[in-house]
Structure 1
Amino acid sequence: MCRPAAILDIQLVHQPVEIAAWSPFPPGGAECTFLGVTRPEQHEHHGELQALDYEAHESMAVDEMKRLADQAVHQWTLLAVRMHHALGRVPTGQASVVIQVVSGHRPESFEACRWLIDELKRQVPIWKRECWNTGTSWSEGTPLTTGQTGDER
């Protein structure tokens, strides 16, 4: 029996991520969503964090996000994957990234969601600058590793 192709919704958006306007995915038994929100922080020299500014090599970022989604679909037999990442300014308290997966069972849903956010941070060419009360600083990225798959977790 042939299963239908997974639904993919991969986007870079030029504003904070808004989940209220999404169209729902068909039910699959298990759905897991990760929402990354800009948290308040304090810097000893620059004061309070006001926002994060995101930049990307857009075409490469979307291509890599699609590649990761395809890999997750096949590795965990997912029914749907949504990956949205904000570009531009994201104030504290607002969302910059969302990963949503639908699968037949909860273990696959949790594992795939965790793997996707970890790999997005490791592999997708998106950079963030921290905007403080009195200055900015570039955030250190997640180290790029080679050869790691979801099976090695």
Structure 2
Amino acid sequence: MPIALQVNGKSVNVTAAEDTPLLWVLRDELSLTGTKYGCGIAQCGACTVHADGQPIRSCSTPIGALAGVAITTIEGLGGTHPLQEAWVRADVPQCGYCQSGQIMSAAALLAEKPKPNDADIDAAMAGNICRCGTYQRIRAAIKDAAATPAPTPVKA
């Protein structure tokens, strides 16, 4: 039986079991490959997306739990989100693998606290691991983006 989801402002029907992790539906059924698989146990943050504006780990969230929830992926932010531009200015990415999850966590933070301090940033980003260790550049990029008005988010 198809499951109806709201992804990046669009209604989609997917044919997967209710216990299928959202990550695999996004990547395999919807071809939204910006969200990455990292650990599979919700510990690294590479698979972070938004559910009703809140960051969640898509590798461990079953699609059956997402009926009526607005899901936003890195693709849903658009290509010119202030965070993405700040990431480039701060030269954040090295290997780049964790970056979509990092940006999604940072976007949720800025939506909740438009002018975060270091403690706010540390708390919001605590579950996102960067194997390259670019944490100082990530913090700088978040502060930079906080000084730039954010675009209107995708509506579900």
Name the TM-score, length of structure 1 as normaliser.
0.30
Larger radius of gyration: 1
The structure carrying a bigger strand percent of its residues is: 1
Name the TM-score, length of structure 2 as normaliser.
0.29
Greater RCO between the two (CA within 8 Å, min separation 6)? 1
The structure carrying a bigger helix percent of its residues is: 2
